[in-house]
Chain A
């Protein structure tokens, strides 16, 4: 018979070390007696007869996890049961944990479940109270909690992830965890007196708790299944439970008896009518909304809204503002915009007569050193902006809609279309004639001068056709 004495609490290190030695020496479970040592004043000592020179033991990952999760349990048999499983797993039964019906596996799984539940309840039911600090110092909080098992180490990293910017300590009968903003430290156990006796928000929280309870659904048994009485003494809101339960039925009876009431208020006809007129009625209103909304793509200094006469005959839709547009807050004022201006001028279109806007109203970019490089908006991002573009069209009622490049076509039609093939007059929308051409930035990106010149000529030709189509549409409308 070998006796293995482990430290009180969750002695994972001691258990691991013992298991290595026992498996290396080939000691079967029935020849081991697992005991827990008296708390030592001098820290952990070597675990009983266990050797400290045994090689590490490779266990299947699910078994290693089971060990880690069950060791914090209080059941004195946990080490023996775990060793029984480890022994069988290392002796030909590698898949043992898959047999949830095995009596030992079953018991260990129940223990694991209780430990997990205990950790979960700690995450749920810890109640921090603020500690007074001098002005300018970081806020400090403290909580007292009584877990069932030795879970302090396993449960507290959660609070670091959640309350990183706070300084806090959680005091328990099994130890203290303290976060100073950088390191999580564990110390000796404490008492309830180590924590403030109240907090300025507890009355508000309790008021919330009382009000969110619906007396017509009272079911205290169900509540206790989830939140056992043992937790109540450390939860400020629980002080109201007995009163809420006691008064529930009379509150419901009163509601049923009092029955329907006659409305005392008059019908707010004016407000109701005003409510329905919320849609922006002018470009100025719409643009104010766009400007006050944050970017729907990451980045951007400001929104860049459309520019031009309220009822322009032709509307040009680009992709998104670029670096210069983002700084100036106006569309088509960068290199591509200047090229568009030139082409329009050559074709006899006055920029002041048309409406220029973008599918996406904010600059999306990647920072490379000091430069902000244009990043193409995704299809989803384009759809975020689609509603604004559609409202612009409704308000302007143009005679011709020109899509400059693929993103504009996508925004107007919801479809990806190859520009080179679709170039020319096109049905973009039900209500307005359309025209597709390239985005002027495409011309800037062409590598050699010859190609640039040819493409520019074609672009100016497009502008001429656009000019003619615009004129034709206007005279048609005038004739009607």
Chain B
């Protein structure tokens, strides 16, 4: 790989890194055909981790960071003075194949600044995916960014080659979008999401392939004035109306060459983490968005305790829960019990009566659960209702957790 190409790769990776999504999950299981390379499994693989603790799964790059749009939060906005570069379609294809063959990556995540027109840009992105599939018999993962301002027929083509499509909403409220991203419109973004949802569902029903790993989006945390409750309501609405697989949260991070309109401070990583936890409750723990919102203060999630614990502390009348008798739904509400631990409890208690020693082998965070559950040899007594329960459960130094 020559120096000029490496230099471009550095610029265009740097320009793409503020997109939090890196997942290579959700594609159907595929393996390489004769004479081809590439496979996918359901969960994806992280091939490396950078010192920010984030996974490197896909080659996440922009086709170009030249851009006609001027979104205040974006490092690539047209008014920024960052160094610019542009890959040719062939260069992206070649780097992807070379990296893939060396087992550096699980696939490609390609996005781009808007050059010439949204249609032209989107055509180039589609062309990369199509060349990988057709010329190289490549069956690895491809995630393409959909440019919502592009003509709808380009989305129709993108989904034929990509495993996942995404449009980033970035700001949870229409006002935020209007004020920080003058060229973007919430209506256009949502129309594209709606179109993708229809096609994805039709293809599933007809057993054809169209973006089989679904669609996702990203919201920026801490760039505008939106509260956590705003973010979560938008999130729940997106899951509901557009059947998104994932909503990613990206803490607004200082960028070189920033604009004076946005806060220059450390990224709100703890807040981002709590939002991910709340999102997890929405998707896997059968929590309603208003239930989570009811456990916020002024719309903001508690930074010291996780949202499930925050909810439990405000709903103590529902506890303690008997692990040997309670429904699965109620067990999922016990702080510290994860979905996997709950499944193990439900299976094991068919054969035996669970005691604390048993629970220690089933759950990794039992200490936090103790005030909220009953086992054969354990009853929390009055501790569920103690006034200082929250203080006793706050972890000393709230730790930064993983992005998935």
**A residues with CB within 8 A of B:** 95, 98-101, 103, 106, 120, 123-130, 139, 141, 143, 158-159, 161-166, 199-201, 203-205, 207-223, 225-227, 235, 237, 241, 244-245, 248, 252, 255-256, 258-261, 263-265, 268, 271-272, 274-279, 289, 293-294, 296, 378-381, 383-385, 387-388
A204 touches B6 (CB 8 A): yes
A222 contacts across to B, CB distance below 8 A: 49, 52-53, 400-402
B52 touches A129 (CB 8 A): no
B361 contacts across to A, CB distance below 8 A: 100-101, 103, 106
Give B165 Cβ to nearest chain A Cβ, in Å. Answer: 14
Which of B171-179, B255-263, B285-293 forms part of the interface with chain A? B255-263
Of B37, B130, B350, most A-chain CB atoms within 10 Å? B37
A99 contacts across to B, CB distance below 8 A: 347-348, 351-352
Set B16, B79, B362, B401: member contacting A100, Cβ < 8 A: B362
Interface string of B258-300 (1 = CB under 8 A from A): 1110001111010000000000000000000000000000000
B237 in the interface (beta carbon within 8 A): no
| A212-B13 contact given A103-B361, A223-B52, CB 8 Å threshold | yes
A128 touches B101 (CB 8 A): yes
Set A166, A212, A221: member contacting B53, Cβ < 8 A: A221
B103 contacts across to A, CB distance below 8 A: 126-128, 143, 159, 163
For the complex, give the distance between the alpha carbons of A190 and B360 in Å.
42
B305 in the interface (beta carbon within 8 A): no
A226 touches B46 (CB 8 A): yes
Other 5 A-B pairs with CB < 8 A, given A255-B256, A293-B153, A384-B153: A100-B344, A212-B60, A214-B50, A265-B79, A272-B68
Give B310 Cβ to nearest chain A Cβ, in Å. Answer: 23
B189 in the interface (beta carbon within 8 A): no
Interface string of B37-70 (1 = CB under 8 A from A): 1110000011111111111100111000000100
B151 touches A161 (CB 8 A): no
Of B33, B51, B60, B266, most A-chain CB atoms within 10 Å? B51
| A217-B253 contact given A204-B95, A225-B402, A268-B68, CB 8 Å threshold | yes
Give B72 Cβ to nearest chain A Cβ, in Å. Answer: 10
B389 contacts across to A, CB distance below 8 A: none
A211 contacts across to B, CB distance below 8 A: 9-11, 13-14, 17
**B residues with CB within 8 A of A:** 1, 5-6, 9-11, 13-14, 16-18, 31-39, 45-56, 59-61, 68, 78-81, 95, 98-99, 101-104, 114, 116-120, 130, 137, 140, 151-153, 156-157, 160, 198-199, 202-203, 205-206, 208, 210, 251, 253-260, 264-267, 269, 344, 347-348, 350-352, 354, 357-359, 361-362, 400-402
A126 contacts across to B, CB distance below 8 A: 103
B358 contacts across to A, CB distance below 8 A: 101
A199 touches B79 (CB 8 A): no
For the complex, give the distance between the alpha carbons of A205 and B104 in Å.
8
Q: Which 10 A-B residue pairings sit nearest by Cβ, starting from the closest?
A: A222-B53, A380-B202, A101-B358, A161-B31, A263-B79, A204-B1, A217-B52, A278-B117, A260-B260, A213-B50
| A294-B157 contact given A204-B1, A211-B14, CB 8 Å threshold | yes
Give B251 Cβ to nearest chain A Cβ, in Å. Answer: 8
| A208-B10 contact given A163-B37, A255-B256, A275-B118, CB 8 Å threshold | yes
For the complex, give the distance between the alpha carbons of A272 and B354 in Å.
67
A261 touches B118 (CB 8 A): no
A218 contacts across to B, CB distance below 8 A: 51-52
A164 contacts across to B, CB distance below 8 A: 31-37
B32 touches A162 (CB 8 A): yes
| A165-B50 contact given A201-B99, A256-B254, CB 8 Å threshold | no
B55 touches A226 (CB 8 A): yes
A98 contacts across to B, CB distance below 8 A: 347-348, 350-351
For the complex, give the distance between the alpha carbons of A212 and B16 in Å.
8
A380 touches B151 (CB 8 A): no
A219 touches B53 (CB 8 A): yes
B253 touches A216 (CB 8 A): yes
Could you list 6 A-B pairs, sorted by A, with CB under 8 Å? A100-B362, A129-B102, A204-B99, A278-B117, A381-B206, A384-B153
B51 touches A387 (CB 8 A): no
A199 touches B102 (CB 8 A): yes
Give B180 Cβ to nearest chain A Cβ, in Å. Answer: 14
B344 contacts across to A, CB distance below 8 A: 100-101
Closest residue to B106 on the A side, CB-wise? A124
Closest residue to A246 on the B side, CB-wise? B51
Set A252, A274, A384: member contacting B266, Cβ < 8 A: A252
